[in-house]
Structure 1
Amino acid sequence: MFGAPKTTDLTPSQVKAALDAQEILLIDVREPAEFAEERIPGAQNVPLSTFDPAALPDAGGKTIVLQCAGGKRSAMAVGKCQEANQVIQTHLAGGLMAWKAAGLPTVTGRS
């Protein structure tokens, strides 16, 4: 669709394999309360409400993958990256819901 951000969609199994291989930095763009309640192990929280592509953590040569609850907010964050001329276009398709549907582990609570 014209004007929509170009995204590279990864499946939950692709993200899990890349996390295990330490090839990606997973950025969860949900709000802090959502992140505290349940998250993907290893994800870092950078909420969409204050999202600044220039302030993302250093990925140390890894690919940054964005993630949210269902895929909409991470796609919006990809759009913000593209507007800021940041080469970040990869996200977890289906977000945390797809991750959980695939039977992959999450961390719950503030632990």
Structure 2
Amino acid sequence: MLSGLMKRLTSGASDNAIAHDDFLAALKAKTHTLVDVREVREFHSGAIPGAINVPLSAFDPARIPAGKPVILYCATGARSGMALRALHQAGREDAVHYRPGVTGWRLQGGRLV
């Protein structure tokens, strides 16, 4: 199952967005580094479990841990898309973004911590 998930994450969607079901599978398997690019105050108001915070306003691709593929998210997908482009330009092709963001996560019944 994980090899199929990785294949879908690294090919297919032109905007490198991860589908909700694939996002859930990646979270459950703990195969990816989850990065919240919202501002610190937003992150502290509630984040998807397991996320680290690297705000877009101070985004530096070097701050993203190596060793695992990356899933970026924000509130609605705009900022995570910008961070994704920055990561790709820095040579991190193992990154995707969860376009629905925290808003979509909560609409799907996801909890925040």
Q: TM-score, normalised by structure 1?
A: 0.82
The SS at the match of 1:38 is coil
Displacement of 1:27? 0.4
User: Structure 1 residue 105 and structure 2 residue 107: aligned?
Assistant: no
Q: Distance in 1 between matches of 2:20 and 2:47?
A: 13
Displacement of 1:88? 4.1
Alpha carbons 1:26, 1:65 under 8 Å: kept: yes
- Matched to 2:83, the amino acid is A
Matches within 5 A, 1:32-43: 32-43=40-51
Alpha carbons 2:36, 2:53 under 8 Å: kept: yes
Matches within 5 A, 1:1-111: 7-58=15-66, 60=67, 62-107=68-113
Alpha carbons 1:30, 1:46 under 8 Å: kept: yes
The structure with the greater share of residues assigned to helix is 2
Q: Which runs of 5+ in 1 are unaligned?
A: 1-5
Q: Distance in 2 between matches of 1:89 and 1:7?
A: 11
- Matched to 2:35, the amino acid is I
The SS at the match of 1:33 is helix
Q: Distance in 2 between matches of 1:85 and 1:63?
A: 12
**Regions of 4+ moved over 3 Å:** none
Identity of aligned residues (%): 41
CA displacement, residues 35-81 of structure 1 (integer Å, 9 cap, x when unaligned): 000100001100001111122123x3x21010000000000001111
- Matched to 2:112, the amino acid is T
The structure with the greater share of residues assigned to strand is 1
Q: Distance in 2 between matches of 1:88 and 1:53?
A: 12
